[in-house]
Every structure is written in C-alpha cells, then in structure tokens.
Amino acid sequence: MRVVYEGKTKTVLRDEATGDTYLRFKDSATGEDGNFDPGSNFVGGSVDGKGKTGLQISQYFFELLAEHDIPTHYLGADIESCLMKVRQVDVPRLEFILRYFTAGSFSRRFSIPNGIAFDPPYTEVTLKDDEQGDPLVTERVCLMMGLLQEGEYDKTLQLLIRIGEVLRHELAEMGLRLIDFKIEIGFDSDRNIYLADEITPDIWRVQDEDGNIPNQIDCANILLQRIAAKLAE
C-alpha cells in the first residue's frame, strides 16, 4: 500500500491495486511533559497495543452510529492488522467541537472554572494548524478559505449534535459522563457529509463515577472492558 498521509496517531493508506483506502491505527499518543492529553497537538509517547485498542473502540462506535442513521466513512475493520477500511472522502483542515461542560482550552481561554454545564451544548470550529494553535474559525472564514461550501457549516454542526446525542447516551450507560469531544468530517464527490477519522478516547474527555477524568490510555482500557460486557449481554 502507498502512504497517503502520516498523522500523529494514524496513517492513511491507499491500495494501488484496488483503490481502497485504509487508516492504520498507531500506538502513538498525544500529550506533553510526560502526560497524555487528547487535546494536545504533540505526540507525547507510545503505548503498546494502543492502535489495536483504538480500532476496536472505533469499530464499536462507528457501527453504533450506523444504527442511528449517522453517515460515516467506516467500511470495516481488520483488528489484528490495525487497519480500518474507509470511504474515500475529502477531509478539510477543520475540527468540529461539542462541549457539554467547560474544560480544557475553553476554561483556560476565558478563565472559567471547569465543570460548568452548557445548555444547550456549545459548538466550536477550529482550523487544524499546529503552528497557529488551532485557531477558532467562523463560517465566513471557512468559505473564504475554500474549506466549506455554502450551508455546509451549519449542516456539519447539526450532524455534530446528533453524534453527540448518541455518544453521550452510550457512554452514560457505561458509567462515563461525556464532557466534550471533537470530530473531523469528510465529503464525497457529491458533497455528501460523513463523519471521518476515528472515535476513540483521543477525541473526547469523559468523567468516571468517582469524578475523575481519565487520560485517553486509561479511558480506552475502561471502555474495552465495558464494551465487552455490553456485547456479552
């Protein structure tokens, strides 16, 4: 396979013989100063088995979202090879964020305590640009930069909220409260919108029954156990 793009935690691959596209989940994790952090723009280390675990979790949640008629780029998974087959889509340099409670960069930006509830949930869109610190962008900027077309900004935010409803409910059943999360989206040749990238603890913050916010490594281990329990029911 040919490497199309090398990301922090995944590699995009293209099978030259079939034209199929795959994501390879890597063992690298984002973080800084020895701490793992899903909100970081830097690779903070490597954890054996993280790629396989992330793919197992993504498979579970992508298939769950499909049951709720949410369009995604997911087409299948080879767990042992850490490969996820995906629909070929064009992914703009944007991240769409949904916040249920104040936390992380939002709290730091406005000097607001963590844990204040948003009602309704708070949405943000950022430009993926590590050097600029992933700045917030408006619909007008997205149109000016050619990242989105008319109407797609609002359509994506509507999709973001629908995704959040499913994730929030499912995580609550697993004893975890969803604080915030971020997604990437992609477009096919007809400009249909799909949830892209991954669904792992690398994209969200959650709070456990004791009020702790586990890092993405610990959260993944918790989820694997609770997914196994749900599948065994």
Report residue 22 as tokens.
């795959």
Cβ atoms of residues 155 and 139 within 8 Å: no
Report residue 209 as tokens.
């029954």
Look at phi and psi of residue 86 and say left if phi exceeds 0, alpha if psi is from -120 to 50, else beta: beta
Whether the predicted pLDDT of 5 surpasses 80: yes
C-alpha dist (Å) from residue 56 to 61, 170, 201, 217: 9, 16, 12, 14
Q: Is 157 helix (H, G, I), strand (E, B) or coil?
A: helix
pLDDT in tens, 157-193: 999 999 999 999 999 999 999 999 999 999 999 999 9
pLDDT in tens, 201-224: 999 999 999 999 999 889 999 999
pLDDT in tens, 77-134: 999 999 999 999 999 999 999 999 999 999 999 999 999 999 999 999 999 998 898 9
Cβ atoms of residues 126 and 135 within 8 Å: yes
CA distance 184 to 132: 18
Between 50-67 and 152-173, two packed helices, what is the crossing angle to 10 degrees? 110
For 152-167, give one letter per residue: b (16+ CB within 10 A) or e.
bbeebbebbeebbeeb
